[in-house]
């Protein structure tokens, strides 16, 4: 079955910062959708155990005070989010995450930080950020989720709110499939493998760009959907989506 022919599990984290090996989870969502409509949604609010910088709070609207008062221990949240993703893969449901290398790497860092089992072999991952950048390489403009939603006609009601972003990622992924038949025709496993190659090619090009601009030591991680620090072999993605 093609990767978009059955349910998809959107995944998003809102965090304390932009460095996935250092930032902490503030909120999370796993939203299973079929035909672009929500079938099941799970959300979490975490107490990250550190102060949430004002810049981060300004983005997602969650203060340190609220997280400390209402959030659950970060380790518990990380464990449950990981279980939700493993559960999706076990049922043959691909996980959709916009800029997956950030969210999945950050989740793995949190699991390690709290002495929890690793995420393990990944099932198929769909990353609209990586796909869009590959299939429409020369389009001008930003590649933020909001911008790409606009490009593909997807309504994003509440940017930087985990549920809204997770669902938007699913809808953008299916919209990309609608515009690009060669992407739509792939199985989940085939798409996962293509994204691995596309991301590596982009990273190599971007690293070269940075070096030409004068940063002789620039190094861009080529691994996807996890940074090299946590890179693990994928599960049997070729057979993983059996809807």
Per-residue pLDDT, 157 = 81
CATH number of 8-227: 3.30.420.10
In this structure, the number of other CB atoms found within 10 A of the CB of residue 194 comes to: 17
Whether the per-residue pLDDT at 232 is higher than 70: the answer is no
Q: What is the pLDDT of residues 21-71, one digit of tens each?
A: 999 999 999 999 998 889 999 999 999 999 999 999 999 999 999 999 999
Distance CA 188, CA 60 (A): 31
* Cα dist from 213 to 19, 218, 220, whole Å: 23, 10, 14
Average model confidence (pLDDT) across the chain:
93
Closest CA to 1 of 167, 120, 122, 177: 177
Domain assignments of the chain as residue spans, ordered by start: 8-227
Q: Over the stretch 90-127, which tens digit does the pLDDT of each residue have?
A: 999 999 999 999 999 999 999 999 999 999 889 999 99
Q: How far apart are CA 187 and CA 93, in angstroms?
A: 12
Structure tokens at 26: 């503030």
**How many residues make up the chain in this entry?**
243
**pLDDT value, residue 85:** 98
What is the distance between the alpha carbons of residues 194 and 219, in angstroms, rounded to a whole number? 22
**154 Cβ contact list (under 8 Å, min separation 6):** 148, 168, 171, 172, 175
Measured distance CA(221)–CA(150) in Å, rounded: 28
Label residue 158 by pLDDT band (50, 70, 90): confident
Give this prediction's pTM: 0.92
Phi/psi of residue 219, each to 5°?
A: -140, 120
Nearest-angstrom CA–CA distance, 197 and 77: 32
């Amino acid at each position: 079955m093609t990767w978009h022919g059955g349910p998809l599990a959107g995944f998003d984290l809102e965090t304390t910062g932009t460095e996935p090996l250092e930032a902490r989870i503030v909120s999370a969502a796993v939203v299973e959708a079929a035909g672009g409509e929500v079938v099941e949604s799970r959300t979490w609010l975490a107490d990250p155990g550190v102060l949430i910088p004002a810049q981060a709070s300004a983005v997602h609207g969650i203060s340190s005070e609220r997280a400390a008062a209402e959030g659950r221990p970060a380790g518990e949240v990380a464990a449950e989010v990981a279980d939700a993703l493993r559960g999706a893969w076990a049922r043959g449901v691909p996980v959709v995450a916009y800029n997956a290398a950030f969210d999945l790497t950050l989740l793995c860092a949190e699991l390690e930080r709290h002495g929890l089992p690793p995420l393990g072999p990944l099932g198929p991952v769909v990353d609209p950020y990586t796909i869009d950048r590959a299939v429409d390489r020369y389009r001008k403009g930003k590649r933020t989720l909001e911008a790409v939603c606009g490009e593909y006609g997807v309504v994003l009601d509440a940017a930087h709110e985990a549920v809204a972003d997770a669902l938007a990622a699913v809808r953008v992924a299916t919209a990309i499939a609608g515009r690009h038949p060669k992407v739509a025709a792939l199985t989940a496993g085939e798409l996962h493998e293509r994204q691995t190659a596309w991301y590596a090619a982009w990273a190599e090009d971007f690293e070269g760009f940075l070096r030409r601009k004068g940063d002789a030591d620039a190094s861009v991680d080529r691994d996807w959907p996890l940074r090299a620090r946590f890179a693990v072999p994928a599960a049997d993605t070729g057979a993983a989506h059996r809807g």
